[in-house]
Chain A
Amino acid sequence: MKDHKNFVNHIRPRFVHSTALSVLYTFCLGGLSFLAFVILGVTGLLLMFHYQPGNSTGFSSILTLASVIPYGGVIRNLHYWAGQLMVVTVNLHMIRVVLTHSYKPPKQLNWLVGVALLILILFLDFTGYLLIGSQESGAAATVAVNILGLIPVFGTGLAQALFGEPSTLSGSTLVVYVWHCFALPMIALFLQLYHFWRIRRDGGVRPL
């Protein structure tokens, strides 16, 4: 088991548990989530070349991207649907882990990392929705800012740090953009790498 604890040698371990060899045990839901995450990273990077964040520019740049830029609609839809898929697979992954009791020791720490990742993914989904910059995004941003504002003492500051100052007509701000395109994906990526290594360290499933 010693090589499982080495961070470098965990991708192709010398042996795995025979019980972990069945695809029907995990349905590869974590792997599918990571695949969606990679697609989101690539298409998101491409979208950044044409998207202009800001309360007044967000929505119009999406319209231009989806209707005028060659293949812009394809890339935008790939990003959109991969995002939807990831929320679904991540939730199914959580349900599977509960049903197979995989949150129990020795995997309790990885369960907590997974919960943190779930929250991150949901927040990524929400900030992506705000970046569309439509009136619905503006309404959603207003609701989120008002809910956070109910937290005593630091609620208003927290809302400012997470959302900036969205207008009621558009949720697209530079602050949301930076969270969505850099900060949150980076945190999620490093947590995921730890999550995968931890599976092996806890004696987890077979390599893909």
Chain B
Amino acid sequence: MPKQLKLTRRAVLRLAWVGVIAASALTIEPLAQYLTSKEDRLQSSLVAYNKPLDMNTDWQNTAKARVWVKRDPTGVTALVATCTHLGCEVHYNVEKKQWLCPCHGSIYDQEGRPVSGPALRALPRVAVELKPDGSLIIDTSKQVGMDTRV
């Protein structure tokens, strides 16, 4: 005959404690992920662009950053593709020659000036330094005027 399970109130409450401890143990791994996340660490404001930049090409994206570069008859300029409305990453549409924001539909013209949508300010231009070997170093912490060229 199987042993009769005696569930007193005290035994059930003790089981509840086991449940509480087990549930707490489940939070350890998420907590460790949260506490060790380095997603918000400070990143260098410098971005490099090594490929050759032709006069005739449109905006070119630098790898791994929201920085785009372009060479026009007056020189080289760099643009940060972060929407001036709420900070989403905007994308350059080559056919329309416009910057489009996927979040709230802001549209900027080829030079990053706002055309329609909630954004009111132009996409920021940042300082570019031309290295002797032809590569570019872009400093995203230094904003420059729209007509500045290197």
Interface residues of A (CB under 8 A from B): 46, 49-50, 52, 60-61, 63-65, 68-72, 74-75
The 8 nearest A-B residue pairs measured at CB: A70-B33, A68-B39, A64-B40, A71-B34, A69-B37, A71-B30, A70-B34, A70-B37
Any A CB within 8 A of the CB of B35: yes
List, in ascending order, chain A residues with CB within 8 A of B33's CB: 70-71
Any A CB within 8 A of the CB of B2: no
A-B contact pairs, 12 of them (CB 8 A): A49-B35, A50-B40, A64-B39, A64-B40, A68-B37, A69-B37, A70-B30, A70-B37, A71-B31, A71-B33, A71-B34, A74-B30
Q: Residue among B30, B40, B87 with the most chain A CB within 10 A?
A: B40
How far is A46 from B30 in the complex, measured between Cα atoms in Å? 12
How far is A50 from B40 in the complex, measured between Cα atoms in Å? 8
List, in ascending order, chain A residues with CB within 8 A of B31's CB: 46, 71
Smallest CB separation, A131 vs chain B (Å): 16
Smallest CB separation, A208 vs chain B (Å): 14
How far is A71 from B33 in the complex, measured between Cα atoms in Å? 8
Closest to A51 in B: B40
Number of A-B contacts (CB under 8 A): 34
Name the prevailing secondary structure of the A interface residues.
helix
Interface residues of B (CB under 8 A from A): 30-31, 33-35, 37, 39-40, 87
Query: B87 touches which one: A52, A60, A70 (CB < 8 A)?
Result: A60
List, in ascending order, chain B residues with CB within 8 A of A75's CB: 34
How far is A71 from B30 in the complex, measured between Cα atoms in Å? 7
- Assess the A50–B87 pair: CB atoms within 8 A: no
List, in ascending order, chain B residues with CB within 8 A of A71's CB: 30-31, 33-34
List, in ascending order, chain B residues with CB within 8 A of A49's CB: 34-35
Smallest CB separation, A49 vs chain B (Å): 6
Known contacts A69-B34, A69-B39, then 13 further A-B pairs from the complex at CB < 8 Å, ordered by chain A residue: A46-B34, A49-B35, A50-B40, A52-B40, A61-B40, A64-B39, A64-B40, A65-B40, A68-B37, A69-B40, A70-B30, A70-B37, A71-B34
How far is A70 from B30 in the complex, measured between Cα atoms in Å? 7
Smallest CB separation, B112 vs chain A (Å): 20
